[in-house]
Structure 1
Amino acid sequence: MESSRYASSIFGKEEHTIRSTSSSETCHSNTQGYHTTQGENITIHEQELIKPNEFSSFDVGFFAGKVVESDSVFFQEQFKEVSSYDKHFKNELLKDLPDVTKVSNEDIIANQRKIEEEIDLLLEYM
């Protein structure tokens, strides 16, 4: 849920302005005559562009994006698999992802060490 809140914060919020007005007129029977009262209430409500719980309902291939320096700052799109429009598509470079449900604690620790070593190597070149 934490990652959903973070993703939602990246997209930001939009403001909704609600404006209501009222007016009443009172007629006094004595010499005061008519009295008019008018009022206006403006409420600004912020709402997340994408709520955190919406991210968990995204289907595989669903993409949400934010465009900078554009009037149309936000979009959502469901991408199709390449095989859905190219029946002969085969990419030998695509590898099957490992089954992460069969990862042991030792695998996680070894992967963490590998990542740290790669980071150290990168930092040496900076």
Structure 2
Amino acid sequence: MPLLQQIQHQASGRLLVARLRRADNFFTRLAGLLGRKPLQPGDGLLITPCQQVHTHFMGYAIDVVFLDASLQVLAIDRAMRPWRISAYVRKAAHVLELPAHAASEVQIGDQLVLAGGKA
């Protein structure tokens, strides 16, 4: 998964993700975070296209943020525990996976901004 850039929370100006990785092909989307150590503060994984995720075989919780094509927040699953399946978010284009509680100030309808590239 190549290093992409950063994601900022537009309303607060806070840098939500300092080290963003992207999963945008069959193999990287299939693998996701499986077999990886827990995300550290500032880490994030952008899965695209994506409308639903699972945490099977993971040993830690994550925040899951569903985004439309313009990176507007459609839904959030906070501290999604292992062995769970998220809701299917039909209008989602991307899913941003973050360390648990990293999306605490993010709300539905918020706009996120990708620094240095197109989602």
Alignment TM-score, normalising by the size of structure 1: 0.22
Structure with bigger helix share is: 1
- Which structure has the bigger radius of gyration? 1
Alignment TM-score, normalising by the size of structure 2: 0.23
